[in-house]
């Protein structure tokens, strides 16, 4: 049976094309102190210097950031919370703690999703499906991460004061929320395609080297996006991966080179854009759900609105390990989802 929603069309194995004007109507980004000192500082909507955000734990602090991003977005969009049909949100913590903390006093229908650092694309992509099908009018896609809560859960508690190896990436403290709705004006960037990734695993076990683990997933999803959509590599003004960082980015370049693929569009990485490694001591770059979400929401979204770019493909990647699988010595399953965001 061929499933066909009202507007959505499936292309190839894994790409969904939205026929109606599914737009990112507005977005709100909030980041921590270190992100607020980075090269993109002027683009974020809000910087919260206190890493506890006035809360008593990092998990609550991360939930607070996410809550701020969502409520400020609803306020700025001039919507009433009652008019928001659905929140799709995810983060890195066990049982999506910060998303659940953030949503517990919002009184808006809620779906929690997990895609590790690919959550941004997953939440926006799924929100677009809800909107394009006509089931929902206003959907909020949101995600967050916090350096301290992520270190505590995935690596070591900060109290231990361990040294970070040079390949390790710095989890972004921040949250971003996006309002997805149908909008005909050409002002707002439209989500035109959503390519769902597949789980890959190349046997990398080092949780301090996630960039290398995730690069093949980004490669796979980018290739599948182009084969599904029959678009050429030069179609996009910019192709931007999520949080491969310097190590993963280098590996991705090598993968393209090995396949003999060259393209004129620029290849960027949100994990590289977020920090200045020279002055900020951030190792191989940024990571975390908020890396791609805040770089897109803060920076790229504005560039799209100003028409500096008109067509971008954003491919956030996720390393899907847990602290128990790491202790079991299991390798890291990885995934990447792609969103085509265009001015049409």
Partner 1 sequence: MFEFKILHKGAMEKMEYLKAFLVGGLICVVGQILIDKTKLTSARVLVLFVTLGAILQGFGIYQKLVEFAGAGATVPLPGFGYSLAKGAIEEVSKVGFVGAFTGGVSRTAGGISAAVFFGYVISLIFNPRSK
Structure tokens at 8: 């959505």
| Total of chain residues touching partner 1, rule CB under 8 A | 19
Neighbours of 268 (CB within 10 A): 17
Cα–Cα distance between 5 and 109 in angstroms, integer? 22
- Stretch of 86-94, 97-105, 157-165, 195-203 lying at the interface with partner 1 (CB under 8 A): 157-165
Options 162, 186, 279, 308; binder of partner 1; rule CB under 8 A = 162
323 lies in the binding site for partner 1 (CB under 8 A): no
Options 82, 105, 159, 278; binder of partner 1; rule CB under 8 A = 159
202 lies in the binding site for partner 1 (CB under 8 A): no
CB of 7 to partner 1, least distance (A): 45
CB of 155 to partner 1, least distance (A): 8
CB of 294 to partner 1, least distance (A): 17
Options 49, 94, 166, 266; binder of partner 1; rule CB under 8 A = 166
165 lies in the binding site for partner 1 (CB under 8 A): yes
CB of 270 to partner 1, least distance (A): 20
- Structural contact between residues 38 and 44, judged by C-beta atoms closer than 8 angstroms: no
Options 54, 78, 161, 203; binder of partner 1; rule CB under 8 A = 161
- Stretch of 9-17, 187-195, 206-214, 300-308 lying at the interface with partner 1 (CB under 8 A): 206-214
Of 95 and 163, CB closest to partner 1:
163
Options 12, 39, 52, 268; binder of partner 1; rule CB under 8 A = 52
Structure tokens at 36: 């607020």
Helix (H) or strand (E) holding 317: strand 317-319
310 lies in the binding site for partner 1 (CB under 8 A): no
- Structural contact between residues 291 and 172, judged by C-beta atoms closer than 8 angstroms: yes
Of 25, 72, 22, 8, which Cα lies nearest the Cα of 46? 72
Cα–Cα distance between 68 and 80 in angstroms, integer? 15
Compute CA distances 327 → 25, 206, 207, 266, 323, whole Å: 42, 11, 11, 38, 6
Cα–Cα distance between 68 and 48 in angstroms, integer? 10
Q: Which of positions 209-238 make contact with partner 1 (CB under 8 A)?
A: 209
Cα–Cα distance between 60 and 48 in angstroms, integer? 14
Which residues contact partner 1 (rule: CB under 8 A)? 34, 51-52, 147-148, 151, 156-163, 165-166, 206, 208-209
């Amino acid at each position: 049976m061929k499933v066909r929603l009202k507007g959505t069309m499936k292309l190839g194995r894994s790409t969904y094309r939205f026929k109606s004007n599914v737009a990112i109507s507005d977005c709100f980004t909030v980041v921590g102190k270190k992100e607020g000192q980075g090269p993109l500082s002027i683009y974020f909507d809000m910087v919260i210097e206190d890493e506890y955000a006035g809360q008593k734990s990092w998990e609550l602090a991360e939930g607070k950031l996410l809550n701020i991003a969502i409520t400020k977005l609803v306020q700025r969009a001039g919507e009433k919370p009652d008019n928001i049909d659905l929140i799709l949100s995810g983060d890195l913590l066990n049982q999506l703690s910060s998303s659940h903390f953030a949503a517990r006093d919002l009184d808006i229908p809620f779906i929690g999703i997990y895609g590790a650092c690919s959550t941004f694309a997953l939440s926006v992509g799924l929100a677009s499906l809800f909107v394009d099908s006509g089931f929902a009018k206003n959907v909020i896609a949101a995600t967050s991460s916090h350096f301290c809560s992520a270190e505590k859960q995935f690596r070591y508690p900060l109290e231990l004061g361990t040294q970070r190896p040079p390949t390790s990436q710095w989890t972004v403290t921040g949250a971003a929320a996006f309002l997805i709705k149908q909008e005909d004006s050409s002002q707002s960037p439209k989500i035109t395609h959503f390519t769902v990734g597949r789980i890959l695993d190349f046997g990398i076990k080092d949780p301090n080297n996630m960039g290398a683990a995730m690069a093949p997933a980004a490669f796979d999803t980018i290739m599948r996006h182009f084969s599904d959509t029959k678009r050429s590599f030069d179609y996009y003004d910019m192709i931007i991966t999520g949080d491969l960082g310097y190590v993963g980015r280098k590996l991705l370049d090598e993968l393209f080179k090995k396949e003999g693929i060259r393209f004129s569009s620029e290849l960027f990485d949100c994990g590289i854009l977020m920090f200045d490694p020279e002055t900020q001591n951030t190792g191989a770059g940024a990571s975390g759900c908020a890396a791609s979400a805040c770089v897109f929401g803060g920076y790229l979204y504005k560039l799209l609105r100003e028409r500096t770019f008109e067509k971008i493909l954003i491919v956030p990647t996720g390393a899907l390990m847990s602290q128990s699988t790491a202790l079991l010595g299991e390798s890291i399953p990885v995934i990447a989802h792609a969103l085509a965001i265009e001015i049409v």
